[in-house]
Chains A and B, each alone.
Chain A
Amino acid sequence: QKEVEQDPGPLSVPEGAIVSLNCTYSNSAFQYFMWYRQYSRKGPELLMYTYSSGNKEDGRFTAQVDKSSKYISLFIRDSQPSDSATYLCASRVSSGSARQLTFGSGTQLTVLP
């Protein structure tokens, strides 16, 4: 079992829809949670990061972490065709030396005009 599991998609929604992207994780030591967006032939771009449980909002994007259920979510409001990309969740522990990110497999999102 992978430490971070992500809904594989692909996901196709009409423009303006609310998109929900989800991951679960198994490592209780994970404290930092991130969402990356990756366009074709590009590197991942950091969208959101949160520490421990809670919500974080940035414009049309909201990240939620529920450590009790080990559940990570990203919501995109008023989705746009330019949001079409692969979305990757990632987690890492808080200790100083083990700073690597563990990624989910990614969800491919298409927003139709």
Chain B
Amino acid sequence: KAGVTQTPRYLIKTRGQQVTLSCSPISGHRSVSWYQQTPGQGLQFLFEYFSETQRNKGNFPGRFSGRQFSNSRSEMNVSTLELGDSALYLCASDAGGGNYGYTFGSGTRLTVV
């Protein structure tokens, strides 16, 4: 069974640009969550999507947005990139039901220069 797939693995962008990251959850998983991981702040929740609807949102500025498609694949977008957006962006999928363990992908390492 394939795991959570995130693309691309690495990205280098310039301040002011925008970026789109992609996540394909485990087959059958309908919930996709996004987290940002930095050395200073650790892992912080960005948002969660379930059946194409944003179900929950963390405390991040509006420059961070996301969406989910009918096949459960999800994208997140960051506009007007800032140096502080440099981080590992992790996607996690969840089967729901009685399983509360999220499965994470390997992440996309974003560097803003």
What is A's interface to B at a CB cutoff of 8 Å? 32, 34, 36, 41-46, 49, 51, 88, 90, 92, 97-106
Contacts and interface: CB of A to CB of B under 8 A. Distances in A.
A101 B102 contact: yes
18 contacts: A34-B101, A36-B104, A42-B106, A46-B101, A49-B101, A97-B56, A98-B56, A99-B31, A99-B55, A99-B94, A100-B56, A100-B58, A101-B102, A102-B45, A103-B42, A103-B44, A105-B42, A106-B42
Contacts of A51: 100
A100 B48 contact: yes
> Chain B contact residues: over half helix, strand or loop, or mixed?
strand
Interface of B: 4, 6, 31, 33, 35, 42-45, 48, 55-56, 58, 90, 92, 94, 100-107
Contacts of B107: 42-43
Nearest to A4: B42
B104 A45 contact: yes
A43 B4 contact: yes
A32 B99 CA distance: 11
A99 B4 contact: no
